Copies of this chain bind each other. A is one copy, B any other.
Amino acid sequence: MSTAISTQAQQAIAERFRTVRQRTLDLCKPLTPEDMMVQSCAEASPAKWHLAHTAWFFESFILNEFLPGYKLFNPDFPWLFNSYYRTFAQFPEKRLRSSFSRPGLDQVLGYRQHVDEGIERLLEAGAEAEVLKRIELGANHEEQHQELLLTDILHAFYTNPLRPAYLKKAGQPGDEELRTSNSQLRHPGHPAKGFVKFEGGLVDVGFSGDGFCYDNELPRHRAFLEPFAIGDRLVTNGEFAEFIADGGYRQPELWLSAGWDALEQNGWRAPLYWNDVDGNWQLFTMHGEIGLDDAMDAPVSHVSYFEADAYARWAGMRLPTEAEWEMAAEGRAIEGNLLDSGELRPSGVAGAGEELKQMWGDCWEWTASAYLGYPGFEPLAGSLGEYNGKFMSGQMVLRGGSCATPKAHIRSSYRNFFQPETRWQFSGIRLVEK
């Protein structure tokens, strides 16, 4: 591995590290230490745990190995804040994270500072290539947890019967006010649905270039695609409400068998966070509850793969494969309603015509592709090999990032993955013509 890294590249990585670390703290500003204890479903973790675990990653895979004389902040933390790296250390059952009242938030913040100082020392000394690569990996890892932190808090606040809001409208009263009223969504008008055609053929899929990517984006490889026409924007809440009104949740023939089972077991009759209040749909968001009427043109979000698939079947369409999606996205500038916009909910799009819109941000887009290794896939060596590869079973690929994804984090080859019944992420629908 080359050890010659330009000073400029070093500075870029250092800057990225500092920015990411600071943003995690910024995202916690609206939260109390008590908020940061809540773990409201099996998929989620407490915000405090995210704070600690992202520090743990830098300590475990960088400081321990590369910083001479590094002293652990606390000898229990290496196993306490391990998520799932079996070859690295023992770890507590995930559900126990809700019992971590100790260490307190102050200690966790101290842990983060301790780790930051260690990384800064490494950077000052002129880190070798492998260290810089891992710092970059750690920054990307932390960005994933930023998104999880936000979606976990959304679920936590939804579970709280008082339904507090993460974001407050400007001019609202302070802490004693538990609920916020609706804020304004941008209403750019409902553009006519268009489809953009692609020729297909023998295409290259997977990451290429000099920057960072995860192991699961490699190797770049050839795949054959038939011609296809992909929707120019995401399916909206208004369109999805038509599916509901048309009995979409009551017709098993629209659903995959496992999807119908999930619907029945969980009593689904709308996306997660939709509530029927006296016959009107209310949507719970990071801004509190809003009426469907105020979000008709925003993309539908918090749908499972099963709902996305059923909607597509109802609409006479299908979902894109991940190769199709990637072909459509490759080379497009990364602009959109990402975490950096601060909107923190999917929003409508301006513009019309057959130009692809919302490829980045708003909602992760369910694809029709199972999450499997690319031909020739090799996980990273050592414990870091557990990062992605061992989850290649029973999950579907999502593409394009969401309103909770940092802009620096996403790219056309990026593969997110969740089980098909997952709904707590910002996950939506883009159609392809059959």
Contacts and interface: CB of A to CB of B under 8 A. Distances in A.
Contact of A101 (B35, B76, B373, B390): B35
A226 to B, nearest CB: 5
Contacts of A255: 390
A353 interface: no
Interface in A106-147: 107
B253 A80 contact: no
Interface string A329-360: 00000000000000000000000000000000
A422 interface: no
A79, A99, A103, A258: residue with the most chain B Cβ atoms closer than 10 Å:
A99
A29 interface: no
A257 B390 contact: yes
Interface stretch (A160-168, A229-237, A272-280): A160-168
A159 B420 CA distance: 32
A198 interface: no
A99 B420 contact: no
A375 B200 CA distance: 12
A99 B76 CA distance: 27
A253 B160 contact: no
Interface string A355-369: 000000000000011
A99 B40 contact: yes
Interface string A254-296: 0111111000000000000000000000000000000000000
Interface in A369-420: 369-370, 372-373, 375-376, 385-386, 390-394, 420
A159, A161, A372: residue with the most chain B Cβ atoms closer than 10 Å:
A161
A162 B102 contact: yes
B420 A256 contact: no
A38 B256 contact: no
Contact of A257 (B175, B202, B393): B393
A176 B176 CA distance: 31
Given A160-B100, A161-B80, A161-B92, A34 B258 contact: no
A71 interface: no
A420 B162 CA distance: 35
A86 B253 contact: yes
A189 interface: no
A332 B96 CA distance: 44
A105 interface: yes
Nearest to A368: B372
A60 interface: no
A306 B385 CA distance: 18
Contact of A394 (B96, B386, B394): B394
Contact of A178 (B39, B102, B175, B376): B102
Nearest to A228: B375
Contacts of A164: 102
Contacts of A48: 34
A103, A105, A368: residue with the most chain B Cβ atoms closer than 10 Å:
A103
A318 to B, nearest CB: 8
Interface in A24-40: 32-40
A154 interface: no
Interface of A: 32-40, 48, 76, 79-80, 84, 86-87, 92, 96, 98-105, 107, 156, 159-162, 164, 175-176, 178, 202, 221-224, 226, 252-253, 255-260, 305-306, 309, 321, 368-370, 372-373, 375-376, 385-386, 390-394, 420
27 contacts: A32-B101, A32-B104, A33-B34, A34-B34, A34-B102, A34-B105, A36-B101, A38-B101, A40-B98, A40-B99, A76-B161, A76-B162, A92-B161, A96-B159, A102-B164, A103-B162, A104-B175, A222-B226, A226-B376, A257-B390, A257-B391, A259-B393, A305-B393, A306-B393, A368-B372, A370-B370, A393-B420
Given A102-B164, A256-B390, A258-B393, 8 more contacts: A40-B99, A80-B162, A86-B253, A98-B98, A256-B391, A256-B392, A305-B393, A370-B370
